[in-house]
Structure 1
Amino acid sequence: MTDLPILAVLPDLLAALRDGSNAVLVAPPGAGKTTAVAPALLAEPWCSGEILLLSPRRLAARAAAERMAAQAGEPVGQTFGYATRMDSKRSASTRVTVVTEGIFVNRIQADPELAGVSAVLFDEVHERSLDSDFGLALALDVQGALRPDLRLVAMSATLDGGRFSGLMGGAPVIESEGRSYPLKLQYLGRAAEARIEDSIAAAIRTALRDEQGGVLAFLPGVAEIERTAERLEGLGDGIVLHRLHGSLDPQTQRAAIQPDAEGRRKIVLATSIAETSLTLDGIRVVVDSGLARRPRYDRAAGMTRLVTERASQAAVTQRAGRAARQGPGAAYRLWEEAATAGLPRFDPPEILEADLSALTLDCALWGVADPRSLAWLDPPPAAAVAEARARLAALGAIDADSRPTPHGHAIAKLPLPPRLGHMLVRAGEMGLAQTAAEIAVLLGERGLGGNDPDLEARLRRWRGERGARAEGGRKLARRWAQLAPLPLAGGAGGGPV
């Protein structure tokens, strides 16, 4: 850790937070911001409480806490812990808690004063997830009204610090140099008729022959990962293949991140989960499909769908950089070099494309009738807010004045999107809370019980599954079921279902 580039600018960041409440830290991947900043703040005179470090993904949250704990020579859960939807390790002695952005939104709404919290660090803010943007908006609102002593730091890997500075009251922008190792880019192209898994497998075999070190391949989804794995069977005893995506249990994810215990050469087939926040030990080559699978809200259908599309220039740059985090590397790209300029520059902010039902209900509970009145980099579109209000009214969650109803309050107590929360509340009133909670878990956790479109078949399989992830899902369902209301007299609840 002594050679991390971020250490050169930590004194400037500490000074900024002694003189003011906010700061923006711009540091490229590999600089060390995720794991070096929070420990450095613990000894500051203003920092007597807990530090919350927000992470965009559960895998990254757990990995960051484990790395900080290892650097301190402690087991995770003591000074450094984490809390995600299906897993947590923390204790009364925890000073730094890495949390996913959704967990933070739930926490600040339950406790607007953030009692006992000295600082909130928003990592990877350039990803512009809805929960990250909303969490920052709420934190700024709390800081302005209740907690002027609360320190807020926005940490970004791209040079958009000026916009965040303006949002955060002219906060100083501190920039760190990255650790730069030579990176060789190779454009392999891909025939239009070729299946992506065939092209990826061929590129991996070429990299194994021509390059040194482990290989990280980016694919759009789990199905493509599995088909690529099939095509790579029989590579030999000196090579180990890992999968890396959000549906895997924590132990399997750790194995993909850490060095191989037997010293074998690693191949990691990953979704975009590996783009940021993680260092995968031993990786020297990236093979990039140039594709990403993202949620896109279809307003005509009223549903969020997963869509496969071209990755942005910012994303493919992040991916290539994975190869040069620990030494010289190479990135193999399955498109022509001239096509890079035609990729979208950045992923669009989620707030401009997402279903805003949960955001609108959360704002109503916060006492804000119009979500657009909060501090945003990009305000939520008025049409999307109007649509969300109409849906919430149909669920009986808000009244004609956009104020939350008792049913809306009951929905909001559940860590679920409004429609799933509505389902669980009504099911609880009918004495069916456990079944509804299990269905809600299956709808939110890909891969539990398989990928069968028949939900009843998935539920049967999941109930018989063993393993940490399956048991974590069952615990989550039991917890949600306990949060549901008790059955009404007569056994049935009113209102829309």
Structure 2
Amino acid sequence: MPIRDDLPIAALLPRVLDSLAQTPRLVLEAPPGAGKTTQVPLALLAAPWLQGRRILMLEPRRIAARAAAGYMAAQLGETVGQTVGYRIRFEQRVGPTTRIEVLTEGILTRLLLDDPERADVGAIVFDEFHERHLHGDVGAALALEVQHALRPDLRLLVMSATLDDARLARWLDAPRLASAGRAYPVRIAHLPAPPGAPVTLQIRRAVQQALAQTSGDVLVFLAGRREIAQAQRALEGIEHAQPLELLPLHGELSLAGQHAALAPAAPGTRRVVLATNLAESSLTLPGVIAVVDSGEARVPRFDPNSGFTRLQTVRIAQDSAAQRAGRAGRVAPGLVLRLWPESQRLESTRTPEILQVELSALALDLAAWGSSDLPWLDA
């Protein structure tokens, strides 16, 4: 397989293959930039234990699933739908020769409910498991149950960038391996907005500072689509010596818009990408040297008054802030401007969705499964 030996994960791949040949579960810790998302599935294709069966890889987000499949297919010199394909809600590109199938998390739950044995699958890879989405937790618990009861030969690989990997390893009863990342030094500064000042004004100031102090593109993390639109209006007409391109990046963007944000800048042009937390991991944004971090994200929370889950804007956790900062050190020494006081304390890790969202859909899935007594990481 054409593995990129210039990525940090390459040195660890022989140990990953050896471990999975000896034990059916593994925890792999690899920071952003290591290359785990695209290089590990390709390396697994050559494993003798796979015996020609398929690899399912779970990605938390649709845009990441498409991008990962596209990158791996290009590395093989193929188009998506041949050796590498993807399946997301309302869209799939797979074919009779597909060996690696990149799925969004909820798809795996449906596949296992329809056919728990999945005899044509040799490995399930859970990418970016630290995001702790509900469907990721459910899929992992179901896959563990399948492995224990029906498929002891099924390999399970959980990949994480910021989780407590010792706890993960205990839960899975699995060995763990850690990869180095690929990062340059990153300088972090805090630029909280003055009391009463509009946040958009502080974003404009921070972007101007980032453009003046660096030579590459700027990635701005915002809570959601509304904040992206507000920031885009605030940044229009910003003065800069080079042509400046403002690009949004969120899950509801068209395919053309997503491709534009993920493509390299045109020669002589600098870009400011305004993104939600989907840009924290799994996606490569070429040319980013500076990050402006609002410190906010929009996440699902159970509302006891309505009995439903709704999206709520919250302060991010420390692990999320670290991942966002890592985006500035991918290609050169970087700069991170955080729009909150340095004295403000953040929670160490994000709260798993299973502990804070409405669970009636999960209850129905477990009723279809026939039991709720599953090996949960968080019950």
Q: Does structure 1 residue 204 correspond to structure 2 residue 207? A: yes
Partner secondary structure for residue 186 of structure 1: strand
CA deviation vs aligned residue, 1:152-195 (integer Å, no higher than 9, x gap): 00101025222221222x21101111123110111112123122
Map 1:221-300 to 2 at 5 A: 221-235=224-238, 238-300=243-305
Which residue of structure 1 lines up, in the alignment, with residue 160 of structure 2? 156
Structure-2 separation of matches of 1:106 and 1:179: 36
Map 1:77-156 to 2 at 5 A: 77-156=81-160
CA deviation vs aligned residue, 1:428-461 (integer Å, no higher than 9, x gap): xxxxxxxxxxxxxxxxxxxxxxxxxxxxxxxxxx
Which residue of structure 2 lines up, in the alignment, with residue 359 of structure 1? 362
Structure-1 separation of matches of 2:91 and 2:255: 9
Q: Does structure 1 residue 166 correspond to structure 2 residue 170? A: yes
Q: Which runs of 5 or more residues in structure 1 are unaligned?
A: 380-497
Which residue of structure 2 lines up, in the alignment, with residue 483 of structure 1? none
Return the TM-score normalized by structure 2: 0.96
Alignment-mate amino acid for residue 61 of structure 2: R
Partner secondary structure for residue 9 of structure 1: helix
Structure-2 separation of matches of 1:284 and 1:121: 30
**Is the contact made by 2:192 and 2:341 (CA closer than 8 Å) also made in structure 1?**
yes
Q: Does structure 1 residue 377 correspond to structure 2 residue 377? A: yes
Which residue of structure 2 lines up, in the alignment, with residue 60 of structure 1? 64
Partner secondary structure for residue 190 of structure 1: coil
Structure-2 separation of matches of 1:63 and 1:272: 16
Alignment-mate amino acid for residue 256 of structure 2: Q
Q: Which has the higher strand share?
A: 2
Which residue of structure 1 lines up, in the alignment, with residue 332 of structure 2? 327
CA shift, 1:262, in A, is 4.6
Q: Which of 340, 351, 354 in structure 2 is aligned with 1:348?
A: 351
CA shift, 1:263, in A, is 4.7
CA deviation vs aligned residue, 1:1-23 (integer Å, no higher than 9, x gap): 32111111111110011111111
Which residue of structure 2 lines up, in the alignment, with residue 29 of structure 1? 32
Structure-1 separation of matches of 2:304 and 2:8: 44
Partner secondary structure for residue 204 of structure 2: helix
Larger radius of gyration: 1
Cα RMSD (Å) of the superposition?
1.3
Alignment-mate amino acid for residue 377 of structure 1: L
Residues 50 and 276 of structure 1: CA distance in aligned 2, closer, same or farther (over 3 Å): same
Partner secondary structure for residue 133 of structure 1: helix
Which residue of structure 2 lines up, in the alignment, with residue 45 of structure 1? 48
Alignment-mate amino acid for residue 287 of structure 1: V
Return the TM-score normalized by structure 1: 0.73
**Is the contact made by 2:5 and 2:11 (CA closer than 8 Å) also made in structure 1?**
no
Alignment-mate amino acid for residue 337 of structure 1: E
Partner secondary structure for residue 227 of structure 1: helix
**Is the contact made by 2:206 and 2:337 (CA closer than 8 Å) also made in structure 1?**
yes
Q: What is the count of residue pairs matched by the alignment?
A: 373
CA deviation vs aligned residue, 1:196-227 (integer Å, no higher than 9, x gap): 22211221112112211000001111111111
Q: Which has the higher helix share?
A: 1
CA deviation vs aligned residue, 1:107-152 (integer Å, no higher than 9, x gap): 1111111131110000111111110010000000111111111100
**Is the contact made by 2:302 and 2:308 (CA closer than 8 Å) also made in structure 1?**
yes
**Is the contact made by 1:79 and 1:93 (CA closer than 8 Å) also made in structure 2?**
yes
**Is the contact made by 2:300 and 2:353 (CA closer than 8 Å) also made in structure 1?**
no
4+ runs of 1 displaced by more than 3 Å? none
Structure-2 separation of matches of 1:291 and 1:61: 24
Structure-1 separation of matches of 2:268 and 2:89: 33
Partner secondary structure for residue 338 of structure 1: coil
Structure-2 separation of matches of 1:295 and 1:110: 27
Residues 280 and 108 of structure 1: CA distance in aligned 2, closer, same or farther (over 3 Å): same
Q: Which runs of 5 or more residues in structure 2 are unaligned?
A: none
Structure-1 separation of matches of 2:226 and 2:130: 28
CA shift, 1:58, in A, is 0.4
Which residue of structure 1 lines up, in the alignment, with residue 15 of structure 2? 12
Structure-2 separation of matches of 1:250 and 1:178: 29
Structure-1 separation of matches of 2:37 and 2:153: 23
Partner secondary structure for residue 234 of structure 1: coil
Partner secondary structure for residue 46 of structure 1: helix
Which residue of structure 1 lines up, in the alignment, with residue 191 of structure 2? 188
CA shift, 1:86, in A, is 2.9
Partner secondary structure for residue 295 of structure 1: strand
Alignment-mate amino acid for residue 210 of structure 1: Q
**Is the contact made by 1:196 and 1:224 (CA closer than 8 Å) also made in structure 2?**
no
CA shift, 1:270, in A, is 0.6
Structure-1 separation of matches of 2:149 and 2:22: 19
Q: Does structure 1 residue 216 correspond to structure 2 residue 219? A: yes
Structure-2 separation of matches of 1:312 and 1:78: 39
**Is the contact made by 1:27 and 1:175 (CA closer than 8 Å) also made in structure 2?**
yes
Alignment-mate amino acid for residue 47 of structure 2: E
Structure-1 separation of matches of 2:336 and 2:275: 15
Structure-2 separation of matches of 1:142 and 1:245: 34
Structure-2 separation of matches of 1:159 and 1:175: 12
Partner secondary structure for residue 208 of structure 2: helix
